[in-house]
Each structure stands twice: as structure tokens, then as C-alpha cells.
Amino acid sequence: MKKIISYGALMGLIFFLSAYSCTSYAQWNTKPFEPKADMVAIKPTDKEVKLKVGQKLYFSMIAHGSVGLGAEANSQDSTVLNRIEIHTAHHNPDEEGMTGNDKATITFVFEALKNGKTTLITQENFRGEVRNVRKIRVIVK
């Protein structure tokens, strides 16, 4: 039987399509992320974040689709906190497209839309299994 696609390429494609299909409302960028002064950066130790309406928050995770490492982020209530952008910065842009060289930093950007509370859920996946889930309470006033 002829092999049409490698396992790594398939996992990378699945990661890309799943992330993109979940973010049809978000802008997908391939240029490096540059935060603006009024944005809030999520730190690994944060359990709760307070935002004002219109304020944006961001955080980054590593993805490496060809080895099965993926990243996801969602708000439980997108009417309060909505994901608006996803940036992908490849670690070796000069070698982008080469087999196995798809390691990247994924930066998720969310905007506070109205007063309320929600939970921001981040998830690291490894070869189809959830590896690490983080929940951050977000309060918008």
C-alpha cells in the first residue's frame, strides 16, 4: 500500500484545521505578535485576571504539529471574552515548510466585550490526548 501522507504531516494538518475551524471568527496571523501597551499578558501563575470592557489580553503557547504537540484556547462565554486573533511565529522561519520544522509559538488574543465573568481555558494536546489544562477566571468590569 502506498503511503500518501506522513503521520507528522497528518497531525499538523489536523491541528491546523481544528484550530482554524474553531476560530472562524478570529483573525489568523502568520506574522510575529507585537503586544500593544494597554494589553494584559497572562502569566503562567495567573488564576484570575481583571479587565475593562474593550481591553485585550494575550498569552502564548508552543505548538509542534509534526510531533503531535498542539495548543488550544477558548473562553467559556464568548459574549464576555471573545478570541479575536491567533498569531503563529515559526521558530525557524527560514526553514518553514521543511519536514519536521513546524515548531511555533502560538499567541492567542482575546477582547473583553461586556461586563461579566467567564473562564479562559487553555489546553496543551499531545498526539490527540489532553496533556495540560489551565483555567483562568476572567472578570470584566
Q: Pull the grid cell for residue 66.
A: 509534526
With a pLDDT cut of 70, the percent of the chain lying above it is 72
Q: Which domains does the chain have, with CATH numbers?
A: 7-140 (2.60.40.2020)
* Per-residue pLDDT tens over the stretch 88-99: 887 776 666 666
- What pLDDT is stored for residue 89 in this prediction? 81
User: Is the pTM higher than 0.85?
Assistant: no
Give the integer Cα–Cα distance in Å for 21 and 23: 5
CB count in 10 Å sphere of residue 65: 22
From the list 105, 106, 135, 133, the residue with the least C-alpha distance to 118 is 135
Q: Please, which pLDDT band fits residue 15 given cuts at 50, 70 and 90?
A: very low
Average per-residue pLDDT in the chain? 80
Q: Are 136 and 122 in contact (CB under 8 A)?
A: yes
H or E stretch covering 17: helix 7-21
Question: Cα separation of 138 and 62, whole Å?
Answer: 22
Note the pLDDT of residue 88: 84
> Residue 109 is placed in which grid cell?
488574543
> 4: pLDDT confidence band, cut at 50, 70 and 90?
low
| pLDDT tens-place string over residues 19-78 | 444 443 445 666 678 899 999 999 888 999 999 999 999 999 888 878 888 888 999 999
Phi, psi at residue 121, to the nearest 5°?
-115, 120
* Predicted pLDDT at 114: 98
11 contacts 127 by C-beta, under 8 angstroms: yes
Residue 14 vs residue 109, higher pLDDT: 109
- The identity of residue 7, as a single letter, is Y
Question: What distance in Å separates the CA atoms of residue 76 and residue 5, rounded to the nearest whole number?
Answer: 35
What is the percent of the chain with per-residue pLDDT over 90, rounded to a whole number?
44
Question: What is residue 31's predicted lDDT score, i.e. its pLDDT?
Answer: 67
